[in-house]
Structure formats: structure tokens, C-alpha cells
Amino acid sequence: MKIATWNVNSLRARADRVEAFLERHDIDVLAIQETKCRDENFPWELFERAGYEVVHNGTSQWNGVAIASRVGLSDVQRGFPGQPHFGKGGVDPQEESRAIGATVGAEAADGVAPVRLWSLYVPNGRGLEDEHMGYKLEWLRVLQEHAAAHLAEDPDTRLALAGDWNIAPQDEDVWDIELFQREGYTHVSPAERAAFHAFEDAGLVDVVRPRHPGPGVYTYWDYTGLAFPKKKGMRIDFQLCSPALARTVTDAWIEREERKGKGASDHAPVVVELG
């Protein structure tokens, strides 16, 4: 079973590319971030005609997460318990569309057991002193508590937290760590990295990095300044798997080719294959 995660940066704008990616790489399950649409204008037909069930959590033209599966999809959960809300400038805090979970793989071939999959779009942070940074860290703290409790309760659980984490947890995960630290950029601050590593401390495993170590192995390149051809990227998209699930991974990679060409997202898909 192949599970991919991809921040598509507007699903409707990249519908053709997503459809081609699913077919070209024989993807069974796709966790999607930044759909940038509400449920009522989500392109349901894109997945239905390709044989996928799909669930979506989208309440505005921003954020939005989805899971598409051709191997079964059940027990859908939009948002996690206690998910922090955000409101800025006097706006009432709202729960943003940043998390959706489902059980996938019940119909997978070759005896592959189901997986509890979450598609996650972690808040950006915007600036080290911005109130969105506090929201980001609290959002991660609550999610980590749920994941740690799940693992403690059931060490054999097959769990995957997949998506755009908006954190570069190691120095090699950005093209110029000295620049980031000198300018006080987000994504590499000690607090953000500690929040990411807390998931690893709880037992979750980055199953891609051992197979594709850095430096220079990225999942995101900005649209500006010719960042992609100049190799000015960041590794911020991950699939963190429970130990029981990580042991079944037969391959994992970053599909960098999807960042190329007209109409590309600024992120590349991250694919994990299970045996």
C-alpha cells in the first residue's frame, strides 16, 4: 500500500496534476493539505472518477485538509479533541481546518492491515514574536499529547501523522541555516524544533529521512527568487509513523519531479510504501 502526503497549495488550481500523480505513481491513499476550498466547492468528482473515496475538512478559502483512499476509508474525524482555536485582531477564535483523520487500508491487497492516518497542516507561526507562533506551539502540544497517549495505550497501533509540519527539525533541512538563525526566521527556532522532536520522543518515526538523508533533500521551495533551480529549499513535510507501522515500511521517498513544470505546487509529495 502506498500512502502519499502532499501540500497542493490549492486543490482546484492543481486538480489535473493531482489526478495525474495518483495514476502515474499508483497511489492508494493521499493525505492532502491546503486544499483552499470549502466542502461545497471541493472537487469531489476528481477522486470519484479515479475510484477513490474522499473526505474533506474545509470551512473557508484558506487551509483545508483531505484524505483520499481507494482501499477503504472509515472512522472519519475532523479535527482532534481540544484542537486550539485562533482569532487575531479581535476576531472570535475559530477551529481552523487543519486536521482530519481516518482509517484506511481495510480493503488493501496483500494482507496489509489498516492504518490510522491523519492529514495535518500545522500552523505556520509567521514570526517568532507573532501570536500565531504561540498558537502553533499549543496546537502541536495538544496533538502530541493525543499521539503519545494513543501510543502508550496501544504500542502496536498502526498510526501515521502525515502532512506539512512547517518545521525544519535539523540544520540540514534548510538551504542556509546561518541565514535563518541570523535573520530570526521561523521553522528552525528551538521551540518549534522541540515541539517536533516531542513526537519522536513519544515513539513516532520519520520513515523517510533514513532512506533519503540530507543535506539538500527538501520538500518545499518558494515560488520567488528562483528558489527551486537554485536549490534553496526546506524539508518541512513528513510522515511520522508509529513503531509498528514503521517496521512495515518497504520504501519511502520525496517525489521531487512534481515540483517541476507549469502549475506546480511549491511542495513535493512524500510517499511511503508499506509491505
Tell me the catalytic residues.
121, 164, 267
Show the cell assigned to 25: 505513481
Q: Is 237 assigned to a binding site?
A: no
Q: Is 156 assigned to a binding site?
A: no
Q: Is 267 assigned to a binding site?
A: yes
Q: Is 7 assigned to a binding site?
A: yes
Q: Is 222 assigned to a binding site?
A: no
273 CB neighbour count, 10 Å cutoff:
18
Give 228-236 contacts, CB < 8 A, sequence gap 24+. Answer: 228/259, 228/260, 231/175, 232/175, 232/176, 233/174, 233/175, 234/168, 234/173, 234/174, 234/175, 234/187, 235/168, 235/170, 235/172, 235/173, 235/174, 236/164, 236/165, 236/166, 236/167, 236/168, 236/173, 236/187
Q: Is 41 assigned to a binding site?
A: no
DSSP SS3 for 91: coil
Binding-site members are 7, 34, 164, 166, 266-267
Binding-site members for Mg(2+) are 7, 34, 164, 166, 266-267
